[in-house]
A and B are shown apart, each in its own frame.
Chain A
Amino acid sequence: MTRLTPTAEMTLGPFFPREFAQGANDLTIVAGKRAEGEVIEITGTVTELDGKPLDNVVVEIWQADAKGRYDNPNFFGWGRAATDAKGVYTFRTIRPGRVGGRAPHINFLILYSGLMRQLQTTMFFELASDPVLNVVKAKERLVAKREGTVHRFDIRLRGEGETPFFDD
């Protein structure tokens, strides 16, 4: 039986086209209609060793809808943003519901120059019991800080306060 080896991932490099990263960070509207659920904003700063903010980091997300479904034709659960010169990314989306035994969460994927391959992490809304959160030591670093309707989720690639990342 055929078994191909996945192609080696390589770094995104510093020159990911700006236009590729635009127009895909608002998940609340699908085909001109507002998706059902509570609208929230997710924002954060992506930093490297010593806390320096990083420009043009690509952040992609994948999440369930308000009822915990991934296959809702009226909600597109995928989005992409790139950080600005201050290292800040922003999404507007719908607060996801529980999926089976999983606490509400949003999967994040980070692509950047100097990362030989993608990094995966997950944002949670509270310190809940969850089979993924349970395997992480620094759990609180995966919980967004709520400021009104804004959820702050900073991503530290390396160093003090480093974000936990997953090996998939």
Chain B
Amino acid sequence: MSWTVEPRDPRTQSEGVVAGYAHTARRWPSQPLVVRPHDTGELSGPAKLERRLPPSKADLAGRGASRALGQLIHVRARVVDEDGAPVPGALVEIWHCNSAGKYLHPNDSSDSPPDPNFRGNARLVAGDGGLVELRTIKPAAYSVPDTDGWWRPPHIHFSVWGRVWLSRLVTQMFFPGDPLNDHDAILNAVRDPDARARCIARMAPTAGGPGNALVYEYQLVVRGRKAAPRMP
């Protein structure tokens, strides 16, 4: 199967130096990015990546006496390509902060309390239909150090592999209805309002779902579609 990856649409993708996010002015290249031809190396990718990156449990919240603090949530994320075709076997990494806004990471210097029962991250393999499901707790909002009152809305980080090298997707999922969503420098760097809206999860009916957990559904669209057959 051969794949094609078309140029990014600058309205639905952000890049460059972003107002209110100082690190972007120190890290995004000052020179224009160079357009290059794509060959096998860009349009192929590793098969069965879980051989290098072993999957983990799909539960960050724990149970009973070792249950993490916070609102239980159940995240259903579906990985599809630009044709809308599911990507079964896609590897998905997920991480987020705890219910007090603290990451399980030595570089998080905030004085928010850690939660010894919160596991912090998971690595999952998409099943049939491109679906991964994670039981966790809802992350809190937190203030960003050394900024003028920037608060990150509650969000979950995703790192996803699609069909080929250029399909790599790292993004963040937001929660519907949070007033901080309208002010976040990262979410609002995406200019197209529809593209922004697609970065916000959908709250699904809880009936028939796992007990005592709010259910959020999210779609992750990785770059790439089937190449059109060559003209004879």
Chain A residues near B (Cβ < 8 Å): 1-20, 23-24, 31, 48-50, 52, 54-56, 60, 62-64, 70-71, 76-80, 99-100, 102, 105, 107, 109, 111-120, 131-132, 135-136, 157-159, 162-168
Contact = CB atoms under 8 A, between A and B. Distances in A.
Interface of A (DSSP majority class): loop
Interface of chain B, main secondary structure: loop
A116 B15 contact: yes
A107 B42 contact: yes
Contacts of B138: none
Contact of A7 (B24, B120, B219): B219
Interface residues of B, number: 79
Interface of B: 5, 7-9, 12-16, 18, 21, 23-42, 44-47, 49, 51-53, 80-84, 93, 95, 97, 103-108, 120-121, 123, 157, 159, 165-166, 168-172, 186-187, 189-190, 195-196, 198-199, 219-223, 225
Across the A-B interface, the 8 shortest Cβ-Cβ residue pairs: A114-B23, A167-B33, A78-B46, A2-B84, A15-B103, A114-B27, A15-B105, A49-B26
Contacts of A3: 82-83, 225
Among B12, B31, B34, B104, max chain A CB count under 10 A is at B34
Contacts of B196: 8
Given A5-B9, A55-B107, A64 B24 contact: no
Nearest to B5: A168
Contact of A8 (B5, B14, B105, B165): B14
Contacts of A167: 7-8, 32-36
A4 B80 contact: yes
A54 B107 CA distance: 12
B142 to A, nearest CB: 11
Contact of B84 (A4, A55, A70): A4
